[in-house]
Chain A
């Protein structure tokens, strides 16, 4: 009786299998001959991956508007290592994640003590800081000109291959975040969001776990940055701005902060919707604003709350 209802666990596994099937089989079959749409889906998958990280920081009760900074870090790590030292992308990719994670840990240690709007304000500033840092990076980053001609590994040269790589990364990321959310660590994270003092008093090392969440989030941002760096083959200090950090956040809560699927759903919905309605694409940012306001007024728990019950409320039946 005390165990998690096996039905729910089974359903989640089935849901994940369907998601994997759609990403890895259905989408490639349907879009194999449409390189443009494959790129759209790659973008959606990568943005969803970055949002999943932001979602994890949300789960410990911190509104993280810094993900743009970490995509920038990841992108520059890959760009510098690949262009200057000719290092293989398959080494650059994990290194991008590692450097972003390291930066996340170093910066996170002081700023994660801040809560609420204070944390949001400083993370917002971090996105600007990262841009300025790379702007002033001298010969290493080439200032505003950025780094061009980033080599794309031959294996990923086709749109299909790049899409599949993005999809696999997204699936891995989703699995990791899902485990975080649904294991005891997820309980610990949620407990910190609800009452940090109480969590401390129960012997939970709140400081350590919030850095863990932020580091994982930053690493995911770094991976996204590395992938975009080889897809666009260039990176500039202005490649990711505050608006990008806000967009990552928007995907999360449009889908719903209570569900791991939330950021994935939000990212795919918005990215694809704007491609379909290309007539309104120029109003994208405006509509983001309207979505955000409408969402807060009408569906404060995200669009997925229309179809999913809130988690953690398993009724005894």
Chain B
């Protein structure tokens, strides 16, 4: 059974149809990518899946359960966690504090326990700090644990954003343009990181328009254009699909990266 299924989702903004009758199915353990030119509706679809927008029609299912229409934090608690474009982290906190917050939904001790510092809550907090440090070290941020996020270089912030999401032990991680604005070297690093996440047993759905990275990393690709699904398949199939080439025609060849 697919772990994440989008079934005939449409989302309108007034007269504009941003996503038109799109379906997709993500199998556990895969890296699934949604690509498309600017304005293709990728971000809207992403927000619908994560619960930040409700679909106008259609449903989103997570592990068989309908999640469309639920609040984002409920969806996150079920194990479907998103990251944000660019470098959205808590800027005024240290890297470690950021990732400790990422553990929030795994917390079992109640607010009162935390407030009064009961032993169970303290033990849990110590555990969170430990695994937070571990995740940061795994993503190559072990030497900046106590640095304020605001002072970290750009590339680190993206990794920190992913660390935040990983801390909640998601079953499916939604990555919003993780390679945007990276040079080839940074992209290579990020590609390795995303693979590593998948190898930890996390299913990955990513929205991206850096074609070359996508072709290397994805198990399956869905192409959107003007809100419509125009192709789906393995990277090899997508590269030779005439509809995809059409959609990207008029854009510079290096953008397509074929």
Contacts and interface: CB of A to CB of B under 8 A. Distances in A.
A190 interface: yes
Given A203-B104, A203-B105, A316-B145, A191 B90 contact: yes
Given A198-B90, A314-B94, A203 B76 contact: yes
Given A187-B97, A202-B81, A203-B105, A316 B147 contact: yes
B90 A201 contact: no
B130 A2 contact: yes
B81 A197 contact: no
B147 A184 contact: no
Interface residues of A, number: 31
Given A2-B132, A194-B93, A312-B93, A187 B117 contact: no
A200 interface: yes
Nearest to A198: B88
A204 interface: yes
B71 interface: yes
B12 interface: no
Interface string A165-207: 0000000000010011001110110110011011111111110
Interface string B102-119: 101101000100111100
A282 B167 CA distance: 56
Interface residues of B, number: 48
Contacts of B100: 184, 187
A191 B91 CA distance: 9
B61 interface: no
A194 B92 contact: yes
B129 interface: yes
A211 B94 CA distance: 26
A313 interface: yes
With a 10 A CB-CB cut-off, give which of A201, A204, A205 has the most chain B CB atoms.
A201
A1 interface: yes
Contact of A3 (B76, B92, B129, B147): B129
B148 A312 contact: yes
B133 interface: yes
B111 A185 contact: yes
Contacts of B105: 202-204
B126 A203 contact: no
B93 A203 contact: no
Contacts of A205: 73
Contacts of A197: 52, 72, 84, 88
A176 B132 CA distance: 26
With a 10 A CB-CB cut-off, give which of B81, B82, B107, B111 has the most chain A CB atoms.
B111
A313 B94 contact: yes
Given A201-B81, A203-B81, A315-B146, A187 B101 contact: yes
Nearest to B82: A201
Interface in B133-160: 133, 143-148
A280 B114 CA distance: 46
Given A2-B132, A3-B126, 13 more contacts: A2-B129, A3-B129, A184-B101, A184-B114, A188-B101, A194-B91, A197-B84, A202-B76, A204-B101, A204-B105, A312-B148, A313-B94, A313-B148
Which 10 interchain pairs have the tightest Cβ spacing?
A203-B105, A203-B76, A2-B133, A316-B146, A2-B129, A200-B72, A194-B90, A203-B77, A191-B101, A183-B114
19 contacts: A2-B145, A179-B116, A183-B114, A183-B115, A183-B121, A184-B100, A188-B104, A191-B93, A195-B88, A199-B101, A200-B76, A201-B52, A201-B76, A202-B81, A202-B105, A202-B165, A206-B73, A312-B94, A313-B146
Interface of B: 50, 52, 71-73, 76-77, 81-84, 88-94, 96-97, 100-102, 104-105, 107, 111, 114-117, 121, 125-126, 128-130, 132-133, 143-148, 164-165, 168
